[in-house]
Structure formats: structure tokens, C-alpha cells
Amino acid sequence: MNISQLTLQSTNKRTGLLLVCVAASVWGLIWVPMRYVESQGISALWVVVIFQTLPFMALFPFCRKSLLSNRQDWGVYLAAGGAMGIGFALYSLGLVVASVTKTTVLFYLTPIWSTLLGSIYLAEKLNRERWIAISMGLIGCILIMKMNVFDIQFSKSDFLGFLSGLSWSVGSIIIGKYPNTNVMNITLFQYAVGGLIAAIAAVFLGIPMPDMGMLVSALPVAFVASVCIFLPSVLIIFRVNQYVSPGLVGIVMLSEVIVAALSSAIFLGEHLDYWQWVGFVAIIMTGAYIGIMSSNMTTD
């Protein structure tokens, strides 16, 4: 590989990471339409079901022909999409029944699992730059979420956050392992599995299905948010996962935490203290550090 090819590859990776940063930032606003739908009288878990089902229905017509002609890849679709769907469902369930702070921080252990799994299954190099970025990102996440690491008490429900990050990491590694598979089909399976698990959890917890009138009033906003805004961001992240290290993608996705905290401060009037701003700076510096060191961090 010559110098020009290396430069092009590095530029493509930086562009991909920038796209992930933007796409994940959009995820940081997902709570806004979800809370609106919940305010219509629909319980939180059924909101998750709706936000998984609508994109599935929108994607299916575009994936039907590809699914039929690529039956040999169904195992990859189910493994990658299923792991991602389980991860999202567990994360959403954790936000409902467990501590939001601990669920978020435990989910964003994802870069650690993705890096370790990537070294095993993708033959990625474990280097100092990667661990510095992971440390900076996690410190920023902990500060923003105002988590006291010296006085942590976990309940069984907090385990959902840990499992969600681990499952998401497994899915990202599978996507990286098969870069030529159809990312739209993987996304379709992710929404199918995520919606199914969320629905099963809602039934298991005895949460009644929403009234038809509530659904009719909430569906327009839910459709625009889940299909027109958030679905493209999922496709972007999954696509970039196919040619950029899943561990790096997981770190850059911490931009979601920044946007979620800032948007809640703006819309809900929540106060941001000094240490949270330090956390913002830490995550921003992490993104800049990855942009500068990305070629070293992805070298085998």
C-alpha cells in the first residue's frame, strides 16, 4: 500500500468517525420525541416498541428483495442485528426500571468491550492511544452523569446497563467482521429484535397496551422522529462500523451523552455544574484526540 492510499484510508476513517459523532449526537435528542409520545399516555416501554416497530415497517419494503436474494447472509443479519437489538432493548429497559445514570455509564463501557473483542476477532492492535481515548471518554461520561464512583451501590436491575453495552459491542464486532454484508438488512433485524424484546418485557411487567386513540395522536411525531430522523443515523453508524474499528466508533458515540445532557438542561431547565462542564471538555478532547491519532489507533 503506497502513501497516497494510506492517506486516503486515514481520511475516510476520519470522515466516518465525524459522521458517527453527528449521528450519535442525534441520538442524544431521542428522549425529546419519546417523552412527547409518553406524555400522550403511553407507557415508556411501549414507546420503545413504537420507536422500533415504525422503522422496521418503513425499512422492510426496501429490504424484502435483498433478503430473499441473500439468504446465505441471514445468519450474519440475525447475529449482528439481533445483538444490536438486544443491546438497545436492554438499554431502554434499564432507563425505565433502573438508574438512568448507572445505565448510561455502564452502557458506555462499550468501547472497552469492543476494543478487547476487536483485538481477538478483528486482529486489531491494542495500543496506548486507544486506552488513553477510552479513559478520557469514560471519565467525561462519569462526570457528565454525576456518578460518584467511590460510593456505587448496584441493584440487579443495573445489570441491564452492563449487558446492553456488552451486547452492543458483540453486534458491532460482527458488523466489522463482515464488511460486505447489507447494512440495511442488519438494521432491519436490529429493529425487529429490539421491538420484539421490548414488547415481551412490557407484557412480562404487566404494562397494558396503549389505547388506540393515544396511538393515533402520537404516531405522526413518532414516525417523523424514528423513521425520518433516527433511522438514517442508525444506518450511518452501522455502515461506519464496517470499515472503522468498533472500539473507536464506541468512543466517538459518547457525543450522545453531551447532547443528551445539554438538551435536558435547555428543555428541562436542569442545572449543569462545574464538573459536568469538565466532563463535556473531556469528551470533546477525546474526539479531537481520536481525529488526530486515528491512523495510529487503527493500525494493526
Q: pLDDT tens for residues 162-220? A: 898 899 999 999 998 998 899 999 999 999 999 999 899 889 888 888 888 888 889 99
* HSE (side-chain half, CA atoms, 13 Å) at 204: 7
Residue 18 lies in a domain: no
Residues 14-26, mean pLDDT to the nearest whole number: 87
Length of the chain: 300
Label residue 77 by pLDDT band (50, 70, 90): very high
Q: Output the CA–CA distances (angstroms, integers) from residue 67 to 155, 181, 227, in the order listed.
A: 41, 11, 20
The answer to whether 205 and 150 have CB atoms below 8 angstroms apart is no
- Does residue 84 carry a pLDDT above 50? yes
The answer to whether 131 and 160 have CB atoms below 8 angstroms apart is no
**Site of grid cell 478487547:** 116
Residue 3's pLDDT is 35
What are the tens digits of pLDDT across the range 97-123? 776 667 777 788 888 888 888 888 887
Residue 2's pLDDT is 39
The answer to whether 140 and 279 have CB atoms below 8 angstroms apart is yes
- The CA distance from 9 to 11, in Å, is 5
Residues 26-38, mean pLDDT to the nearest whole number: 85
Going by C-alpha positions, the residue among 143, 142, 146, 70 that lies closest to residue 106 is 142
**Site of grid cell 426500571:** 97
User: Which residues span the domain enclosing 207?
Assistant: 41-297
Residue 249 lies in a domain: yes
The answer to whether 18 and 253 have CB atoms below 8 angstroms apart is no
Residue 5 lies in a domain: no
Question: Considering its fold, how many domains does the chain have in total?
Answer: 1
Grid coordinates representing 300 are 494493526
The answer to whether 222 and 35 have CB atoms below 8 angstroms apart is no
Residue 56 lies in a domain: yes
Residue 228 lies in a domain: yes
Average pLDDT over the chain, rounded to an integer: 82
Sign of CA dihedral 219, 225, 229, 235: negative
Going by the DSSP 8-state scheme, the letter that residue 210 receives in this structure is P
Label residue 5 by pLDDT band (50, 70, 90): very low
What are the tens digits of pLDDT across the range 44-75? 889 889 999 999 999 999 999 999 888 899 99
Residue 14 lies in a domain: no
b/e per residue 127-163 (b: at least 16 CB within 10 A):
eebbeebbebbbbbbbbbbebeeeeeeeeeebbbbbb
Model's pTM, two decimal places?
Answer: 0.82
The answer to whether 12 and 179 have CB atoms below 8 angstroms apart is no
Residue 2 lies in a domain: no
- The CA distance from 115 to 154, in Å, is 25
Residue 195 lies in a domain: yes
